[in-house]
Amino acid sequence: MRLFVAIALPQDLRDRLEGLRDGLPGAKWVAAENLHLTLRFIGEADGGECHDIDAALAGLRFESFPLQIEGLGHFGEGRRLRALWAGVAPNPDLERLQGKIERALQSAGMEPSKRKYKPHVTLARFKSGPGPRLHSFIAAHGLFRAAPFEVTEFTLFSSYLAQQGAIYTPELSYPLEPRKAPLDARLE
Ligand code: 2AM
């Protein structure tokens, strides 16, 4: 199974992100039900490894926290443009949760992640770049900012590459603990 750990996004947020789809020739937009925020890509895992991954994730303790999607960016430039994404407002809780997941998976025997973590929600992928239109798209929509939502769990997804594109299936979810500190205190 090909696996990754991610935060599933609420329906209203996915609807808002879907509303950005407009005017980018060559963009292959990610289906609304597939929009997610990856915490850790795992890759292929066999039965025994899946068991160890589940045990490592289930043992993790972390409090719920708010998260806000804002801004747009891209990976690659010009003809090497690969992806357009929505970003995340600076979020120390997200960084800490990601770090905990990384350490838990390493103690379950996984190799350390090679890439530095860059939180993003991939909106579209490109085979041939949209040229200068990307910059006007980002100029038009770059101030995108969604309402914050409460992250109350994270999810182990499987990814299956079908003919019509990737199909992501939530396999197991790991609830976070109820938040103790009030929201106001955390936003200060
Ligand atoms: P992406 O959206 O930037 O492509 C499922 O493929 C998820 O895992 C996607 O969110 C993808 O990020 C992420 N991912 C991270 N590293 C990956 C890798 N080496 N191969 C495939 N997907 C990866």
Element (H, E) at 83: strand 83-88
Number of independent structural domains in the chain: 1
pLDDT of 153: 98
Residue range(s) defining the domain that contains residue 30: 2-186
For ligand 1, residues with CB inside 6 Å are: 4, 38, 41, 83, 122, 159
Q: 39: CA distance to ligand 1 center in Å?
A: 10
The dihedral over CA atoms of 75, 76, 80, 83, expressed in degrees to the nearest 10, equals 10
135 is catalytic: no
pLDDT of 142: 86
Written as six digits, the tokens of 185 are 């205190």
Q: How many CA atoms lie within 13 A of 170 on its CB side?
A: 15
**Mutation probe of ligand 1 site: the residue of 1, 4, 85 with most atoms within 8 A of C-beta:** 4
Q: What is the pLDDT along the chain (188 residues), one digit of tens a residue?
A: 999 999 999 999 999 999 999 888 889 999 999 999 999 999 999 999 999 999 999 999 999 999 999 999 999 988 888 999 999 999 999 999 999 999 999 999 999 998 899 999 999 999 876 677 888 899 999 899 999 999 999 999 999 999 888 899 999 999 999 988 666 666 66
pLDDT of 15: 96
141 is catalytic: no
Q: What is the CATH number of the domain that holds 149?
A: 3.90.1140.10
Q: 90: CA distance to ligand 1 center in Å?
A: 21
Nearest to 119 by CA among 3, 22, 9, 23: 9
